[in-house]
Amino acid sequence: MIELLSQTSWWVPAYGLVGAVITLPWSIGLVRRTGSRPAAYLNILMTVLALIHSSLLLWAVWDAPPERLLIPWLHAPGLDIWLTLLTSRISVGGTVIITALSLLAQVFALGYMEKDWALARFFGLMGIFEAAMSGIVLSDSLFMSYALLEVLTLSTYLLVGFWYAQPLVVTAARDAFLTKRVGDLLLLMGVVTLSSIAGSLDFTHLALWAQTAQLSPLVANLLGLALLAGPVGKCAQFPLNLWLDEAMEGPNPASILRNSVVVGCGAYVLIALQPVLALSPLALTTLTVLGALTAIGASLVAIAQIDIKRALSHSTSAYLGLVFLAVGMQQDEVALLLLFVHGLAKALLFMSTGSIILTTSTQDLTEMGGLASRMPATTTAYIVGALASIGLLPLGNFMAMVEWAEAAWVVAPWLMGVLVAVNGLTAFNLVRVFGLVFWGKPQAKTRRAPEVGWLMAVPMITLMIFNLLAPFILEKFQMLPNWNDPNRGLVLVLICSSLVGCGLGAWLYLSPEKPKLVGAIATPLREVLADDFKMNRLYQFSVVFAVLLGSRLAAWFDRYIVDGLVNFVGVASIFSGETLKYTISGQSRHYLLTLFIGILLSITVLSWTLWEWSPTLHSLALRAQP
């Protein structure tokens, strides 16, 4: 039984792909009479089967050593490519989390998008999402992981641009796709280079190769930076962090997965590549710097947003920055722990956000207020999700942050400042959002807001229970930190940062005499933060300007050099042809005379040449004689 389950591990990603294929008759309009609901039900059924299969597989491999499954894909002279899967407690546990969150998001989508005419197309794209993510966590091949990351990029483009009739949505989908393509292109260069150097693209073989690899500093640094570029784009890290903000234009159920597990897939590949990245100190330093900049910068940007989805999406980038820092410190287990607890908490926050958007028909925080008494289930879900996102006992994120802090204290104590800042700013931001949405007096769009139906409430309450049970799940996975001799100073600092952030947010946004949205941030600074540190203008004056200048130089060279040379040859041919036509008389004696003169001149030139060379040849012949 165990052997059978291990050999069929590749079925788990296949379920989502089959579900996407099944929805095609409804997605392309071949089936109209039944509506889109049957396509959604069939896709949910495939997700249920994937969850059951992955759960059984987790039970089978719980105490077993990791096992690799080789699937032949391409055989050619001198080239053999295998699709390699790894079934271990971590990889199979990742598929359980992905399929469970996908199932909850799809049931949530039934209520959120019940009146959408393209429901079947949405569920088909969600099936592709699920298949790609499950394949990435099971993959032991960098080649296969890269291909599945490309599938995620395409799926993100299609889901962000789902409501393509809106110009802003089309622009957001295009920008998200192109931003990711920058990192994907550099990652492809690294994959090709690593294949030629290491001779294999399997993560298991790469880890063994990295232990004895002898690379020059230049090659190691360039290879490390290229491999780092792909996860930077996927995880929305600086400077490729703008796409996650614009991706919020898509449907909210897709944002649930995108902010919880989709961005985590890029970090998962980064964790698998950590032995190779360790060959380059420059790559690890860059990883640490980008993670720290994104963690603090995105936390500051989040507190200035008035769009509820963007206020939460920037905090996703911040927490992924902490994951990057953990990988830079070579603490892979801490990075995986943080990915797990953050995914659960952020999925719950976006579910409660979707409930708010559906009932109020707005995402603007300034148009909300007073929803706590009208939406008790949504309010409770948001509170649990917020508490699970910061360092407060006894929820899972506190455990992960304590583990992170202990690792950082040993490697680089200054990184504790990053963790304290991110935790405090996140706590402040979540209390701010709570005060603007659930507290205070009802606004025009929240005065009659009802609680959501059971299709949205059931997955939301279920995920809330999972967040509350996260410490017990971590104990079952044996991922809890060692509490025999904890660093009490670090624990106290972490708790104090959470309390200070929550207290400051409550003082500014829960107190009735304090004006909302003013707080302690001056208007000019708030505008800079709300515009993401003017990153768009920075790109306009750097990358966009360089591309425009290069295109103009290329256009000038093409018009005046290439086209000028071609036009000159054409004009010279026309001029010479027009000139020579006047020498044509049509009489044969003139042609014979011309031929005779040409032969005479040729003989004359040849004789002069031989006359000039003959003394030289004669002298050389005399010297050659003994």
103, pLDDT greater than 90: yes
pTM: 0.85
624, pLDDT greater than 60: no
Q: Distance of CA 110 to CAs 8, 25, 36, 84, 152, Å? A: 30, 19, 11, 35, 22
**pLDDT bucket at 78, cuts 50 / 70 / 90:** low
> What span, in angstroms and rounded, lies between the C-alpha atoms of 121 and 112?
15
Please state the three-class secondary structure of 18-41 as a single string.
HHHHHCHHHHCCCCCCCCCHHHHH
Residues 321 and 375 in one domain: yes
Residues 357 and 443 in one domain: yes
Residues 345 and 414 in one domain: yes
Q: Which domain holds residue 203?
A: 141-530
**CA-CA-CA-CA dihedral for 511, 516, 519, 521, to nearest 10:** 170
520, pLDDT greater than 50: no
Across residues 346-367, what is the average pLDDT?
A: 89
Total number of domains in the chain: 4
> What span, in angstroms and rounded, lies between the C-alpha atoms of 400 and 378?
26
Residues 592 and 612 in one domain: yes
499, 348, 486, 474: which is closest to 423 by C-alpha?
A: 499
Q: Distance of CA 390 to CAs 211, 394, 426, 579, Å? A: 37, 11, 7, 87
Phi-psi sector, 532: left (phi>0), alpha (psi -120 to 50), beta: left
**pLDDT bucket at 583, cuts 50 / 70 / 90:** low
> What span, in angstroms and rounded, lies between the C-alpha atoms of 67 and 463?
31
275, pLDDT greater than 50: yes
> What span, in angstroms and rounded, lies between the C-alpha atoms of 322 and 264?
12
What is the reported pLDDT for 3? 65
**pLDDT bucket at 12, cuts 50 / 70 / 90:** confident
- State whether the Cα torsion 555-556-558-563 is positive or negative: positive
Residues 338 and 434 in one domain: yes
530, 300, 520: which is closest to 429 by C-alpha?
A: 300
What is the reported pLDDT for 620? 44
Q: Which amino acid is at 526?
A: R
22, pLDDT greater than 50: yes
Residues 188 and 286 in one domain: yes
Residues 570 and 592 in one domain: no
Residues 131 and 155 in one domain: no
Structural domain ending residue among the three candidates 89, 122, 140 = 140
Least confident of 145-149, 237-241, 339-343, 354-358: 237-241
* pLDDT tens track for 428-474: 999 999 988 888 788 878 788 888 888 888 999 999 998 888 888 77
Residues 131 and 200 in one domain: no
What is the reported pLDDT for 481? 64
* pLDDT tens track for 225-235: 888 888 888 88
C-alpha of 398 from chain center: 26
Residues 511 and 605 in one domain: no
CA angle 229, 232, 89 (to 5 degrees): 105
**pLDDT bucket at 566, cuts 50 / 70 / 90:** confident
**pLDDT bucket at 613, cuts 50 / 70 / 90:** low
| DSSP secondary structure, 554-588, as one string | HHHIIIIIIHHHHHHHHHHHHHHHHHHGGG----H
Across residues 292-313, what is the average pLDDT?
A: 88
Cross-strand partners of 76:
79
Residues 483 and 540 in one domain: no
> What span, in angstroms and rounded, lies between the C-alpha atoms of 378 and 329?
38
Q: DSSP letter at 440?
A: S
CB pairs under 8 A, 24+ apart, for 392-396? 392/495, 392/498, 393/495, 394/471, 395/341, 395/467, 395/468, 395/470, 395/471, 396/340, 396/341, 396/344, 396/345, 396/467, 396/470, 396/471, 396/473, 396/474
What is the reported pLDDT for 99? 92
How many residues in the chain?
626
Helix, strand, coil percent content, the chain, rounded in steps of 5: 75, 5, 20
Residues 252 and 278 in one domain: yes
CB contact at 8 A, 15 and 49: yes
Q: Around 411, how many Cα atoms within 13 Å sit in the side-chain half-sphere?
A: 18
404 by DSSP, 3-state: which? helix
**pLDDT bucket at 514, cuts 50 / 70 / 90:** low
What is the reported pLDDT for 519? 41
